[in-house]
Amino acid sequence: MRNNLQSFRYNIGMVQKRAIDRDFNYDIFSDKSILVTGGTGSFGKAFVISLLKNANPERVIVFSRDELKQHEMKTSSVFQDSRIRWFVGDIRDKDRLLMAMQGVDLVVHSAALKQVDTGEYNPSEFVKTNVYGSQNIVEAAIERGVSKVVALSTDKASSPINLYGATKLTADKLFVSANYYGSFTQTNFSVVRYGNVMGSRGSVIPKFLEQEEKDEPFQITDERMSRFWITLDTAVNFVLKSFEIMKGGEIFVPQIPSMKIIDLAKAINPEREIVVTGIRPGEKLHEEMISEHDSHRTIRFSGEYIILRDPSEIKFYDSALTVEEGFAYRSDTNPMQLGLQELKQILNLG
């Protein structure tokens, strides 16, 4: 059981492979300068590794406010590469962003405050980072003549009920709307929205495995709860692909599987006691990545969904299909559902 987390990450990646792990052209990153905000986080590190391994960038700028994480990353053998530049800075500081973006071609914006519980009790801090910081990214990218910016979002930004989701929805709007400055700038902005990254810090899988190891009951906030899931590698590939096909103003949403949290617990150990603790402040019963209110401008294209700025922009995507009226992409109604037996197979539990 102690080794099941790594096995889970690999096997569920296979479940998603057909949908979104597609071939794409790394040449668009060759000889380019790429800045990654939040570059010392889980996504940032995986993204940098993928670029260095598969593309030939001129330089990759790791931008983050955490000096300790940068030191740990610098001293890791994986990141001993002369193409990496290290920038300590906060996205709240526009002047620092302007300095970091000198000569930059592409920006990946993954820096954010993300803990739902923390956001409910510290709303002003989330607004400063997730909203004002995002506006700083937009303005600095335009002033420095950056070609493309892709910002990472979350399923909690669709029909948000918590402060974190509300700030990310606001950030999404800022990046999409930034494309209306097109008559003044050549910078294109798009957004990638996906669900929970499996095995990430604070997520439920390592929590269950830790409770299993300590012989403690599994804690679930509600027996009906469901969630979208994506592997880190798949998230990185999806962002890379978005750079290739983006025109500006899109919100890209991957087709990924969902599962019931209680099924995951039973797949790990059907004999383990389950304690229902109640939904926490700001927590949804089911997650949503596309609201029915966005269905009139949502298309299916190349194994993913794209929320367009305007329905007329479908003309930019050959063979794209519109979704049906009233369509919503929710974790409880998602057709890609992982049942109990499939979860056991993914976890190598028979």
Q: Hey, which residues are catalytic here?
A: 156
Whole-angstrom Cα distance, residue 159 to residue 325?
Answer: 17
Give phi and psi for 14, each to the nearest 5. Answer: -65, -35
What's at 38, amino acid-wise? G
Q: Which residues of 324-333 are buried (b: 16+ CB within 10 A; e: fewer)?
A: eeebbbbbee
Whole-angstrom Cα distance, residue 147 to residue 31?
Answer: 14
Residues 6+ apart with CB under 8 A from 335: none
Selection from 2, 3, 38 nearest residue 150 by Cα: 38
Residue linked to tokens 């029915």: 292
Whole-angstrom Cα distance, residue 341 to residue 216?
Answer: 23
HSE-CB of 278 using CA atoms within 13 angstroms:
2
Structural tokens at position 103? 């000569």
Residues 6+ apart with CB under 8 A from 117: 280, 281, 282
Residue linked to tokens 């012989």: 215
Name the H helices within the chain: 4-20, 42-54, 67-74, 94-100, 116-121, 123-126, 133-144, 163-177, 204-213, 232-245, 261-268, 340-346
The whole-angstrom distance between residue 49's C-alpha and the CA centroid of its chain comes to: 17
What DSSP string runs through 105-137? -EEEE------HHHHHH-HHHHIIIIIIHHHHH
Whole-angstrom Cα distance, residue 332 to residue 153?
Answer: 20
Selection from 88, 92, 98, 94 nearest residue 65 by Cα: 88
